Amino acid sequence: MKSLLVLFSSLLVPLSTWSAQPNVVWFVIDDMSPSFGCYGETLIQTPAVDKLAAEGTKFTRAYVTAPVCSTCRSALITGMYQTSIGAHHHRSGRGELKIHLPTDVTPVPVQFQKAGYYTCIGSGLPGFDNCGRPVGAAKGKKRSGSQLGKTDYNFEWDPKMYDSHDWAERGDKPFFMQVQLHGGKLREGDEKARADFKQRVIAELGSATDPATVTLPPYYPRDPVILDDWALYLDAARMTDLHVGRVMERLQKEGLLENTFVIFMTDHGISHARGKQFLYDEGAHIPFIVRGPGVAKGTVRDDLVMQIDMAAMSLAAAGIAIPKTMQGRDILANDYQPRDAIFAARDRCDETVEHLRSVRTDRFLYIRNFLPQRPHLQPNAYKDGKAIVQTLRTLHAEGKLPSVSEDLLFSPARQAEELYDYHADPFQVTNLAANPDFKAELEARRSHLHRWIVESGDKGPESEAMYDSDMVEYTRKKNPEVEKNIALMKQWAKEGK
């Protein structure tokens, strides 16, 4: 009898261990600002995300450390500033020259695996892709390329850090799941693709958003192309909400929801002329909602947080030690002290060279333009391929843009420093850097940013050799615009611009 009790107790130990460890689910959405009902968007309804907020904690001032996919994702998966690990240039390390993480930095999925977790990355809905469309997945295949979710990391990593595209085959293990959704990219493509998406919205949600009802930031003209695009973007938010709701319903039906720690966020703001790739609120401000065991319900927090915090808080929720070198913080810890400032950076995006840094405090946003002789909308094949940017360039050429659009989007050069009271000026239209009333604030933020650059080990501009290595990959597609832009980047660099 004693031996049986010992055996029974030994069987209970791993079961109690697993039950004490919550599952962890990340929703990471492409190209989307906080355009949800719980964040004040009134033109559309987003019941699933709103429910997440009601059942958890909503952060109103969450920002990315980099407003473009690969650099943001390189940061969030390590809990580190992308500038500290050398992964801050968009789609870098893809050529002959590679980027390797510092020896004391380990991707979060690897840390979960070492703790006994089953790691996966996909759509959260077996048989459906990141756009919510059926993929016809073959049974028994763990690694169908169409089912694995987006990674886009700028450093070398082992694909084995993900066990599968879904948690279904986890056995008795807890799981760490990254649900990667297409988000704002759902609306992109040529005219036919956009029309098809609109029809899909009508079929699945009953109606599409009326462009005439859209409210735009003050620096975008109410042109039909831009209004249509913004309406489709809001419909992309509705479709994203639908997908999120279905994943949450799946967790509920499988009896997993109450023991699952959920984070909902986006990898940067809306893809637009002053959004994605830029450090203003339109590009850097994101939704950030946390729900799960031990998380306060119906709570709203207004302190400054960053997307890299999701790494630290997820490890903490799973009972895994947070590496001492990790720059992200467990913002749910009982002893957590809110930050007085957060930082962000924008560097090369595709072929277009850029160097921007920012510091944001409770009231002010300070941006340093290290290449002020270049225009805001530098030539970039990716963004110039969008109908909205093409429309803006056409209106500019025809002299039909309002003065605020001309000043903010098409000035041939920029101020080296920008300072905004982003509470009083939510769209960051009025630069206070030259205003003598804000001289003390400007100098304080300038020093603050410089200190962070030094202390965080900001790697700064990439070498010409690394640029050339990565551009080999871009020129393989034989895109004349890309090749023209590369030549222009090199010319401007020689001219000291």
With 0-12 / 13-18 / 19 or more C-beta atoms within 10 angstroms meaning exposed / middle / buried, residue 26 is buried
- Topology classification of domain 21-343: Alkaline Phosphatase, subunit A (3.40.720)
> Tell me, what's the pLDDT at 136?
61
Residue 320, token pair as written in the block = 């895994």
With 0-12 / 13-18 / 19 or more C-beta atoms within 10 angstroms meaning exposed / middle / buried, residue 191 is exposed
> Tell me, what's the pLDDT at 146?
52
What is the tens place of the pLDDT at every residue in 443-462?
999 999 999 999 999 999 99
Residue ranges per structural domain of the chain: 21-343, 356-494
Residues in the chain predicted with pLDDT less than 70, given as ranges, are 1-19, 136-146
Residue 421, token pair as written in the block = 């009271």
What is the tens place of the pLDDT at every residue in 286-319?
999 999 999 999 999 999 999 999 999 999 999 9
The DSSP 8-state label assigned to residue 116 in this structure reads: T
DSSP of 361-430:
-SSEEEEEES-TTS-SS---HHHHTSHHHHHHHHHHHTT-S-HHHHHHHS-SS--SEEEEETTT-TT--S
CB contact at 8 A, 315 and 335: no
